[in-house]
Amino acid sequence: MSIGSDDDEYTVLNLAVAAAPGIISEMFLGIVDSAIKQSNSSLFQKRSVREVLWGYRDPFLEAIPNFIISDKTTGVFYPYNGTADGPYVVFNGKDFIQKVALITRYKRQSTLSYWSDDYCDMINGTDAASFPPSVDKNLRLYFFSSEICRSIYGEFEKEYKLRGIKLYRFVVPKLALASPLENPDNHCFCTDLLISRNCTGSGVLDLRACQGGKPIFLSMPHFLYASDFILDSLDGLSPNIEEHQTFVDVEPITGFTMHFAKRLQVNVYFNRTDKIEVLSKLQSEFMFPVVWLNEVGI
């Protein structure tokens, strides 16, 4: 639960204006500039939490002809509010208990189609609610998350007791979102040489392929584990492992997750362009945080 109301208003990035150059053909950017001025839009605006998360009809988008953009609603999680994710097919463990809860198909497919590479498109592991029994602390725990459009893993950090029950804590490590220079397994998650600075950038994941081309990039909160060029581009960041890492605490005999914290940050990438006046004033590119999520369960 949040400590605030969904109706609380904040000054936030104008998602539609910032994302426009990334999703609209360059030949139409003159029309985009006119629509921004006609609707009195700017790079920042005041919106409620509900609007930012779940969507609102944007006056700037309303001013753009339908043949350029027909959907006039924008939001971080639009259009997914209340929609089902899946279906999933998982092993029930009847014939081999060590496969119980492993996902075998997602949306009727045995692999993803976002990354144009068989390795990165693999669906590995469970949904993190449980894992096969007899958990080995020396092995990685893999889980698939549709929110980040990929499979990822946790590595053993510590053993402790919660209400008298022994648990293993597995954390998503720095290496999981590292650049291909640090972790060659991540080569196929590098999809843009310019933004990633020739695949040297760490700590962010380009989600454009699974977000309809929208310039959405995922990271850990406050850009934990991100490259210096990302951290140095913004003020007010305070990455902290204790507060911002993602982990699952698993009971090792049954494989059940007893405690977890899923922490993600949604960012929008935008850059200067002379064809849109409000963006022509920028000095450099930005990976701008819009919201970070802290989902905890016990």
Percent above pLDDT 90 for the chain: 87
Q: What is the distance between the alpha carbons of residues 136 and 149, in angstroms, rounded to a whole number?
A: 26
257 vs 116, which has greater pLDDT? 257
Percent above pLDDT 70 for the chain: 98
Q: Say yes or no to pLDDT of 82 above 90.
A: no
Q: What is the distance between the alpha carbons of residues 12 and 203, in angstroms, rounded to a whole number?
A: 23
Q: What is the pLDDT of residues 194-222, one digit of tens each?
A: 889 999 999 999 999 998 889 999 999 99
Q: What is the distance between the alpha carbons of residues 253 and 134, in angstroms, rounded to a whole number?
A: 5
Q: Say yes or no to pLDDT of 42 above 80.
A: yes
**CB distance 177 to 219 below 8 Å:** yes
Q: Which two tokens stand for residue 124?
A: 């590995």
Helix (H, G, I), strand (E, B) or coil at 27: helix
What value does the mean pLDDT of the chain take? 94
Confidence at residue 86, expressed as pLDDT on a 0 to 100 scale:
85
Query: For the ranges 47-56, 80-89, 91-100, 155-164, which has the lowest average pLDDT?
Result: 80-89
Q: Which two tokens stand for residue 209?
A: 């392929």
Q: What is the distance between the alpha carbons of residues 225 and 105, in angstroms, rounded to a whole number?
A: 31
Q: What is the mean pLDDT of residues 120-127?
A: 97
Confidence at residue 85, expressed as pLDDT on a 0 to 100 scale:
84
Q: What is the mean pLDDT of residues 107-126?
A: 95
Query: For the ranges 24-33, 55-64, 75-84, which has the lowest average pLDDT?
Result: 75-84
Backbone angles phi, psi at 137, to 5 degrees: -65, -15
pTM for this entry: 0.92
**CB distance 114 to 121 below 8 Å:** yes
Helix (H, G, I), strand (E, B) or coil at 91: coil
Q: For residue 196, count other CB atoms closer than 10 A to its CB.
A: 18
Distance set, CA 215 to CA 56, 58, 193 (Å): 18, 17, 15
Confidence at residue 81, expressed as pLDDT on a 0 to 100 scale:
64
